[in-house]
Structures are given as structure tokens and as C-alpha cells.
A and B are shown apart, each in its own frame.
Chain A
């Protein structure tokens, strides 16, 4: 009986090892493009931001597209970055959410990498460090900057913020991530209730660390892990597939009601207080570090169809208010969706730019290329001083960019930047 049990156990162990070897073989060869792989676990619990990337983590991302993903030694979804910034390099700290994190595409095809490449092609030594992480709303991005900026010695901050995030519980619910909560006197303070979550509280527990190590390093263990969670796997229609029809929800004026209430009428009052508080904290942090910043505001574009005029007006008003909130704090802003929409030149650019034929999902390769152009333009505009008047912190600071000195007074740098090879 014991002999039988022993042999059964041996067979099971061999089965697990063979399966583990098979999955690793798939991941290490071009077979990962088609055959099953187990989604990676890229994050670790973190007391400051909720979770961070695990340095050295890698795997195949399987949601919306298959892409190899790796996290560098500094815990960024980026190529390796020298923590000691080389002389003459202008370093941009880029924050954002999953759209900027871009797990859906190979890192080389992300807007950050494409923008870096374009800037290098124009003769600029500009490095863009991608600090973006999935789900990062405004306050989480600020927490991320607080955590990473001292290690990176940045020269400019570019933060991609969703205008709609200010109207959700993103800034008020601290059960999973930092947020603004009211203390006993009703004043807003940063709440960290998420630190009581089991994984965050016990992040240093040896057993928890061992479990995490096993799950992150064993394909079979991760299969069991994903049994209890929704694995990030999902197919997509071919990129570029035109929308099958029907009106964009952004065309419906009702779609804008909540945002209109917040940005134009400052209701609900608690939500508005949090928005204003964030703008203050963000600009105070920039001032303390003497860092210039550009807040790239993301707001759903409205198709240019005739029936969408009302919605377009709503969007313009809301975007204007959002930009004003930051301008009042001396922070420059940009409306990137509008920039890209103009470039794409289609009535509804969403199907072109996003995975999923009906405008759902993250940016596809085309989307990243367009947004990279816009990001490059935004950075160059800033460097040539076009946004200098809007940024109090930038005043008086001269960028060390040899190539720009050649173009001052000659062709407009934005036009040059727009002249892609």
C-alpha cells in the first residue's frame, strides 16, 4: 500500500515537473505567441502605493494581445535605466495608468519607447522613465512619484491623468490604495487603510514571502493561484477593425452629466474638495522638488458626427475646467486625445487606436504610435519654452539640449518634431 502510494506520488511529482518544463519551454521560445502560457504576477504588495512591480518579473501578457513583459531592476515596466543619470541626459518621469503601462504591447512599441526613439532621432538625449502602473489614478501617481523620483533624478514630470478619475471613488476609497479621507474634524487627510490588508500587512512575513516566491516563480503554482482569480486573458478582434456601427456613448450628452456636475458645478462637494486637494498636493510636491510638470489630461474623444455637437461642447467645457484647475496651480496641461484625434482624422478614431474592434480596450500598436507622436510634441513644446509661461517652476530653468540651440529662431520645433522619418 505504501509502495503504491509512493509510486502514485512519484508519478504526480513527475507530472508536475514535466508540465512546469513544458510551460517554461513555451515561454522561452516563439511558441509563446500561440500556445498556452500562464499569466505572470508582476506586482508585490507595497505600503506606500498599494502594490509595486516586482523587479526582474517577466512573463507573457495575454489580455487583448500577447506581449512579452519584463520589469527592470528599478521596478519599472521599461528598459533598464541607469539610476545615476548620465551627464547631458534629460530625464522625463512619466506616470499614468494601464494605458501608459502598456502591458498589451511589447515595450519597444509603447508610446514611451517610440517617443524616446523619435526624440533621439531628432538629436535629443532624452530619456523617458515609465513609472505607469495599472489602475493608477491621480493620488497613486503622486505616491509613485514620491517613491521613485528621488531615485531617478528627473528633469520633467509628465502625468497622464484621467479627467473621469476625479469623479469616481478613486480619490476617496483608501481600502486598496491611498486616497483622501476625512478625519474627525472633517479635514481631508491621506488615508492608508489599504495597509491593513493581509498581503500589505504581512509583506515581510517569511511565509508570505515564500508563498509569493513560489507563485511568482512556478508556472504550476500560478495555475492554482489563477483558479481563484480572474486571469488577465482575453481575445481581441484584429487591431484596426472598424467599429461595427452604433453611436459612441461619448456622443450622448447624458454620458457627460457626472463630469459636468463635478467640473463645472463642483458637485458633489466632497469630490471637488478631493480634486482641489490633489491639485494642491501635486503642485506642492513639484515645487518642493523644483520639478516642472505637464499634466496630460485624458478625456474620451467625441466623434465628429453631426449628432454629437452637444457632447463635443460638453467635453470642451469640462476639459477647460480641468485644465484651469491645474493652471491655477502653475502646472501646464495638454489635451492629448484632441491632439491625436486631429492627427488620425477619422470621425471616430477609437477603432483605429484601441484593441477590440469597437473602441474598447487599451491602445493598440497604432494607438501607441499616434500617442507617441503627441507625447513627443508635448515634450518638445515644453523644452522649447512654449509651456514655460504656464509652469511657474520652469521659469528661469534652461534645458540642456544642444540640438535645440540649433533650431531656435529657425523652423518651429513642433513642425520639425512632426516631420517623421
Chain B
């Protein structure tokens, strides 16, 4: 069930109404989550049920065995379904149970459940009071398939309160509806519009240096609008159901360096990597060489989480190398943010090529074209003309301006504005625009990019 679809809006609306009016709100949210995931099909649903049940059982295991069992159940299943071909270099038997598309959201709920068990072991969180509560924590539909990756201490207490009958007062309905509307605009108006252009640009080797950079730049924005749009819809839908989820993006393309980028892009994944991999492996302790090795390994794993392909591994490792290199620069030699922003953006967009290209060779060819060292002209005006180039350049600048504009939307001063307009007129306005966005005629559906993970 896509977030940008009528069934999803209907599900959110129905669940919102039921939660507001009926008793047993925890069960209602669990039922809605089951309906949502049920759309993925019986195979994925059965697997998910089995994984939830197994994790629940593991949470009762002796503490010493618990983490190993959790790793076996979660990492083991993920590794088998997602990475076995990558690790063995083989191909799954056609028609076999495992030779199918990846179960929906498996990468997200795997990380969420591993974090639960680690936090349980560390005493940071308590065990869920019952299987329904645990299942709702894992399967909460606004965040299940695409994050944010929430920690038990963030979501579980809220879920427990739902089951206790606590109905949170929605002080700012406009906030939830506004986030859903904003997310739909990002996904439908921008991400889905950029998708065919990006597909076209990456379908063939670039004709010029400009072409190569244009492809990378547009993909960088496509994936941002796609992912952050979904995230906004999820956070907004959760708000309507009385659940507060953390934001996953904070205008990452306004960052001035790699560390800041990962504090703004897929924030919950960054924090998961930091808390459950980087720090346990030593973090920045033990000297520059050791910490660099840890950084590279952790970022490479983070890349691999996105997909079982060498390109993702290289993407992650390249990010690790970039972060490590910037660490070598003494503080007194660091450029001010407004200067370092542009070269940093060039690196970010160049690294996206590994994410988008079908293979390492294609990625390296594309990067070669971007470097200007492959003999391609700077511009190719035969097909599009200088006016077309101007339009493309303006489009790129406009995307950046939009992104900067989003920064102001997310400032806390906007809450005051939302409070002022909060009321039936605003609710109805946002709901109508959201529905019309979803009803816009479109060609082939562009699934959410991160569904693949």
C-alpha cells in the first residue's frame, strides 16, 4: 500500500476516526497496521508474523542468550533473504520460496527489533507488557516500511498508553494534516516528476559534463523528496493517531560538511548506526587509524543496508572516507560553512551516482564524465539548445531554493502560524489538497525508492 494512494488515506482517516471515537484504541491501531501490512501479500505477512512472534519469544530468553538469538532471528533472516546472493555470488533457485522480492520493510523492522533487544539488554527500556503491545510497536504502520527507525523508549511507552486507553489530545491537527500534505507534495509533485527525467538521463551514458552533473543533481533531489516525503507522511499520520515520531530529515542539503549531513539525512538511521555499531566498535577512541577503520567499516555496512549490491557498499565506504578526510582538517583550517557548502554539495551529489547507477562500472563511467576528464564537451546543445540548458540550470537552482524554503517551514516559528490557522477551514483545506494530490492522473507508478530496502 503506497502512502500516496487512496487506500492509505482512507486507512489513516478511518483509523483516526475510530481512535477518536471508539474504545480499545491500541487494538484499533494494531488492526490498522495488520490491514496495512496485509496489502503486501500473504507471504510477507506470514513472515512478518513469524518474526514478531520469534522476537517476542526471544525477549523472554535468558539475558546471555538473548542477543545471540535476536541476531539469529533478525540479522539471520535479513542476511538470508537479502544478502545470500551477494555473499555467495550465486542465484536463488527459480520458483523457490526464497527466490522472490524482498519482504516489505524488512530492513527497517529488523533494525528496530535489534535495537529493542539491545536496549532491553542495556536496561534502557522495559519489555513490552504484552504481545499485542510489542506487535504494535514493531508493526506501527506509519513508520514500519520506511522509518523513521524508532527506539523502544520513544515508541513503546506511547503504544502502552494507547492500550491503556489513553487518548492523546490533538492540540494541533493542522500540524499532522500539514505534514501529510507536505509529504504528498514532495512525493507526487517533485519526486515522481523528477523520476522519469532521472531515468532518462541515467538510461544512456552522458553526452556532456553538464549532462552528467545534471543527472546526479536531479537524482539527489529525487531521492530526497521521495524519502523525506514518505517520512513526513508517516510522521503526520502518526500524529493524527496520537503518536509522536521523530523527524528523519532536517534539510540535509543545507549542511556544510559530511558530519552535519548525516545529522540531517535519515537521522534515525545515523543514530542507530552510531549507537549500535560505531560506538560499540570503539567509535573515535583508540587513535586515528583505528577510528578511521571503524568509520569505514560502519559506513560501508550502512551502505550495504540499503541494498545487496557492490554499489551500495562502495557508496557507504566512500562516505566513510569523506568523513575521515574532513576529520584530518584542523579546526583552524576549516572553511566557513557558507564557503564549504558548495564543494560539499558537489561531493554529496557525486556520491549519489553510486546509489543510482546500475553497477560499479556504470557509476565509475558516470563519475568520469562528471570529472571532465573523459573527453566529453562541457555542454551539449544539439538536442536541447542553449535555452534548454538555461532551463535545466534554473531548475537545479530552483530545487535548491525550494529546499532552503523548507528550512523555514520547519522552524518552530511555524508552529505559532499553525496555531493561528488551526481550525476546520485549515483541516478541510489540507485534507482536500491531499486527496487531490493522490488523485492526480499519473503514468507508471513510481514506488517509493526506499521500498527496495
Contact = CB atoms under 8 A, between A and B. Distances in A.
Partners in one complex: yes
B5 interface: no
Nearest to A34: B193
Contact of A237 (B193, B200, B427, B439): B200
Nearest to B425: A11
A69 interface: no
Contacts of A220: 436
B433 A19 contact: yes
B279 to A, nearest CB: 43
Interface stretch (B79-87, B322-330, B364-372, B440-448): B440-448
Nearest to B446: A235
A34 B395 contact: yes
B425 A33 contact: no
Given A18-B429, A36-B189, A241 B441 contact: no
Q: Say which size band chain B's interface belongs to.
A: 20 to 34
Interface in A1-50: 4, 7-12, 14-16, 18-19, 30, 33-36, 38-39
A235 B436 contact: no
Interface in A193-230: 220, 223-224, 226-227
Given A34-B395, A220-B436, A241-B203, A14 B429 contact: yes
A14 B436 contact: no
A4 B442 CA distance: 34
A235 B196 contact: yes
A7 B441 contact: no
A15 B425 CA distance: 9
Given A33-B391, A224-B439, A235 B199 contact: yes
A10 B421 CA distance: 14
B138 interface: no
B386 interface: no
Interface in B323-350: none
A241 B204 contact: yes
Given A16-B436, A36-B442, 16 more contacts: A10-B425, A12-B429, A14-B425, A14-B428, A15-B430, A15-B431, A15-B433, A16-B432, A18-B429, A34-B194, A36-B193, A220-B436, A223-B441, A224-B439, A231-B443, A237-B200
Interface residues of A, number: 33
Contact of B424 (A11, A30, A62, A357): A11
Contact of B432 (A12, A227, A235, A237): A12
Contacts of B192: 36
A15 B428 CA distance: 8
Most chain B beta-carbon neighbours within 10 Å: one of A33, A227, A241:
A33
A412 interface: no
Interface of A: 4, 7-12, 14-16, 18-19, 30, 33-36, 38-39, 62, 220, 223-224, 226-227, 231, 233-235, 237-238, 241, 357
B188 interface: yes
A62 B192 CA distance: 14
A19 B424 contact: no
A11 B204 contact: no
B293 interface: no
Name the prevailing secondary structure of the A interface residues.
helix
Nearest to B434: A15
Nearest to A238: B200
A71 to B, nearest CB: 20
B423 interface: yes
A7 B424 contact: yes
B294 to A, nearest CB: 42
Interface of B: 188-190, 192-194, 196-197, 199-200, 203-204, 391, 395, 423-433, 436, 439-444
9 contacts: A8-B427, A8-B428, A12-B429, A14-B429, A16-B432, A30-B391, A36-B192, A227-B439, A233-B441
A396 to B, nearest CB: 47
Contacts of A226: 441
A41 to B, nearest CB: 12
A234 B433 contact: no
A234 B425 contact: no
Contacts of B432: 11-12, 14-16, 19
A36 B438 CA distance: 12
A278 B194 CA distance: 47
Contacts of B391: 30, 33
A35 B189 contact: yes
Nearest to A18: B433
B395 A223 contact: no
Nearest to B391: A30
B429 A11 contact: yes
Contacts of A241: 203-204
Contacts of A62: 443
Nearest to A35: B193
The list of the 8 closest CB pairs from A to B, nearest first, reads: A11-B428, A15-B432, A231-B441, A7-B424, A233-B443, A11-B425, A11-B429, A8-B428
B439 A223 contact: yes
Nearest to A19: B436
B412 to A, nearest CB: 25
Contacts of B429: 11-12, 14-15, 18
Contacts of A235: 196, 199, 443-444
Nearest to B218: A34
A33 B200 CA distance: 14
B66 to A, nearest CB: 49
A218 to B, nearest CB: 12
Contacts of A18: 429, 433
A35 B192 CA distance: 9
A234 B444 contact: yes
Contacts of B425: 7-8, 10-11, 14
A38 B199 CA distance: 22
A303 to B, nearest CB: 22
B199 A7 contact: no
Given A12-B429, A36-B440, A233-B442, A7 B193 contact: no
Most chain A beta-carbon neighbours within 10 Å: one of B199, B432, B439, B444:
B432
A372 to B, nearest CB: 18
Most chain A beta-carbon neighbours within 10 Å: one of B190, B193, B426:
B193
Contacts of A15: 428-433, 436
Contacts of A4: 424
Contacts of A19: 432-433, 436
A238 B203 contact: yes
A62 B431 CA distance: 27
Contacts of A39: 441
Contacts of A231: 441-443
A16 to B, nearest CB: 6
A8 B424 CA distance: 5
Nearest to A225: B441
Contacts of B194: 34
Contacts of A33: 391
B204 A38 contact: no
Most chain A beta-carbon neighbours within 10 Å: one of B190, B424, B425, B441:
B441
Nearest to A20: B436
Contacts of B423: 7
Most chain A beta-carbon neighbours within 10 Å: one of B197, B199, B427, B440:
B440
B192 to A, nearest CB: 8
A9 B436 CA distance: 15
Contacts of B442: 36, 231, 233
A357 B199 CA distance: 13
B188 A36 contact: yes
Nearest to A237: B203
Nearest to A66: B196
